[in-house]
Amino acid sequence: MRTLIKSISGRAAMTAVWCFKVENLKSRRGFSRPEMMKRTSRNYRNLPFSLKRGAWSPEEDLKLIAYIKRYGIWNWNEMPKAAGLLRSGKSCRLRWMNYLRPDIKRGNFSKEEVQTIIKLHELLGNRWSAIAAKLPGRTDNDIKNYWNTHLRKHLINNINIAMRTTELQGTQKSNIEFKQKNPSERDISHPKILNSEEYSSKGWFPMSPKPFSASNPNFVNDEKKNKNQTIDEEIDVGLLESFGELSLWDKWPYSMEGSCKVEDDGETYTDEMWKETRGTGSNAMESRQQQKRQIFQIQVRKNRDFQRGV
DNA sequence: AAGCTGCCCAACCGCCCAGGT
DNA sequence: TACCTGGGCGGTTGGGCAGCT
């Protein structure tokens, strides 16, 4: 067994270990220990062992739908018996409320719905049922899942950036004041924190094409092509999808925005200055782009170090 | 082709609350 | 007032799947 576990890694190994333990803990009733614990916990102690759990079959769905259509909802605990279902009332209720109800809207969330979720979450916090009440056809579970899988990580990153900004800004109230206090600080150190409208207006939600990402390999390919880069650690550009770093990008794109300043041999150049001194030839523009890319990577790494508390 | 990994989301769990006794 | 029960809610889990190596 140990040899087997050694030969596999990560999650597979953990799964193997877990299966091994569970297999050895099978009780006399034929249930694993965790299963027994679940079944004997408060919610299950009065339930027969024959109750079915897990994914619903199409036949069970049909039974529940037919029963509710005919008799309506009267008592979730009695209903499954009457409908011929070997399910708990709780399981039936959940299945109906989250999946089978005829008024449920399925499919991707629209931009407007996402904006509403963000706004309401700012207002209400994790009160998913209250948020769902404002989105016809969406269930609290759907919204909770969407938030946890699509929006939460972006929120956390944005908070991290906000913390960094706060530290760099001190108590200053405006960009002008910030620049007065920190004349040597580049714009990159003062990233803009976007609100929900700004996020969605940029199309940075998952259902929209992303500015750049693992699935938009231009950035990655450019990095791989760049043989002369002096940075020892390559930035994982997939991670730049975080809103925080996209807001850095907003300030420091190497998309050749005219106002972008890059230092070279101690001199700070705007794109215009660069063109004036180096020309607009492909070599000059390529080296300019390469420069921006490198500095952006450094800034991203600094930002990550800050977030990690390095 | 097979194994691994990460993501998505349906389903579960535990807790809480309101209403009834 | 205390207890019980049904229903609702938010947090969490884990199976399935797609993409990657």
DSSP assigned state of A110 = P
Q: Is residue A214 part of a domain?
A: yes
Same domain, A91 and A116: no
Q: Confirm whether any atom of chain B, the nucleic acid strand, is less than 7 Å from CB of A149.
A: yes
Footprint of strand C on the protein (CB under 7 A): A 34, 54-55, 74-77, 89-90, 93, 97, 126-130, 140-141, 144-145, 148, 214-215
Residue A137 dihedral angles phi and psi, to the nearest 5°: 90, -10
CATH code of residue A92: 1.10.10.60
Q: Which of A87-96, A139-148, A268-277 has the lowest mean pLDDT?
A: A268-277
Distance A55 CA to C6 C1' (A): 23
H or E stretch including A264?
Answer: strand A262-264
Q: What are phi and psi of A252, to 5 degrees?
A: -130, 50
Q: What is the mean pLDDT of chain A?
A: 56
In a domain, A289, yes or no: yes
Does residue A271 register a pLDDT over 80?
no
Top-confidence residue, A272 or A211: A272
Domain boundary among A87, A102, A117: A102
Same structural domain, A116 and A170 = yes
- The count of domains in chain A is 4
Q: Is residue A204 part of a domain?
A: no
Return the top range by mean pLDDT from A154-158, A185-189, A211-215, A274-278.
A274-278
For range A231-254, the mean pLDDT: 34
Would you say the C-beta of A142 is within 7 Å of strand B? yes
Shared domain check, A301 and A241: yes
Rounded distance between C-alpha atoms, residue A38 and residue A41, angstroms = 5
**Weakest-pLDDT range from A39-53, A152-166, A219-233, A262-276:** A219-233
Q: Answer yes or no: do A133 and A93 share one domain.
A: no
Task: Report the share of chain A in percent with pLDDT over 90.
Answer: 1
Q: For residues A229-251, give the mean pLDDT.
A: 33
Sign of torsion over alpha carbons A271, A260, A297, A238: negative
CA of A204 to C1' of B16 (A): 37
Q: Cα–Cα distance between A92 and A60 in angstroms, integer?
A: 10
Q: Is residue A89 part of a domain?
A: yes
In a shared domain, residues A185 and A271: no
pLDDT bin (cut points 50, 70, 90) of residue A112 is confident
**Residue A186 predicted with pLDDT over 60:** no
Q: How far is the CA of A42 from the C1' of B18 (A)?
A: 20
Q: Do A220 and A184 share a structural domain? A: no
Does one domain contain both A125 and A179?
A: yes
List chain C nucleotides near protein: any atom < 7 Å from a Cβ: 5-12, 14-16, 20
Q: Is the CB of A141 under 7 A from strand B?
A: yes
- Residue A80 has which token pair? 């499954």
Same domain, A303 and A216: yes
- Mean pLDDT confidence for A52-79: 87
Please give the pLDDT value at position A104. 87
Do A123 and A97 share a structural domain?
no
| A304 and A214 inside one domain | yes
User: Phi, psi (5° rounding) for residue A232?
Assistant: -75, -30
Q: How far is the CA of A7 from the C1' of B4 (A)?
A: 13
Q: Is residue A154 part of a domain?
A: yes
DSSP label of A188: G
> Is position A202 within any domain?
no
Q: Which residue has the tokens 């706060």?
A: A166
Per-residue pLDDT band for A291 (boundaries 50, 70, 90) equals: low
Q: What is the pLDDT of residues A116-126, one digit of tens each?
A: 888 888 888 88
Binning pLDDT at 50, 70 and 90, where does residue A304 land?
Answer: very low
Give the integer Cα–Cα distance in Å for A191 and A83: 59
Residue A205: both structure tokens together: 């939600």
Question: In terms of pLDDT, which residue wins out, A283 or A67?
Answer: A67
pLDDT at A240 over 60: no
Residues A218 and A304 in one domain: yes
Per-residue pLDDT band for A277 (boundaries 50, 70, 90) equals: low
Instruction: Provide the CA A22 to C1' C18 distance, Å, integer.
Output: 29
* CB-CB contact of A112 with A97 (8 Å): no
Closest CA-bearing residue to C1' of B14: A43
Residue A92 lies in a domain: yes
Q: Tell which strand B nucleotides have any atom below 7 Å from a protein Cβ.
A: 3-15
Q: Structural domain of residue A6, as residue ranges?
A: 1-46
Which domain-ending residue is among A164, A193, A222? Answer: A193
**Alpha helices, DSSP H only, in chain A?**
2-7, 10-24, 33-40, 58-71, 79-83, 89-95, 111-124, 128-132, 140-146, 152-169, 175-181, 196-201, 218-225, 243-251, 271-278, 282-308
Which of helix, strand or coil describes residue A169? helix
Residues A295 and A213 in one domain: yes
Query: Could you tell me the distance in Å between the CA of residue A271 and the C1' of nucleotide B21?
Result: 80
Q: What is the mean pLDDT of residues A199-209?
A: 36
Is residue A200 in some structural domain? Answer: no
The pLDDT confidence band at residue A86, using thresholds 50, 70 and 90, is confident
Spatial separation of the C-alpha atoms in residues A68 and A279, rounded to whole Å = 75
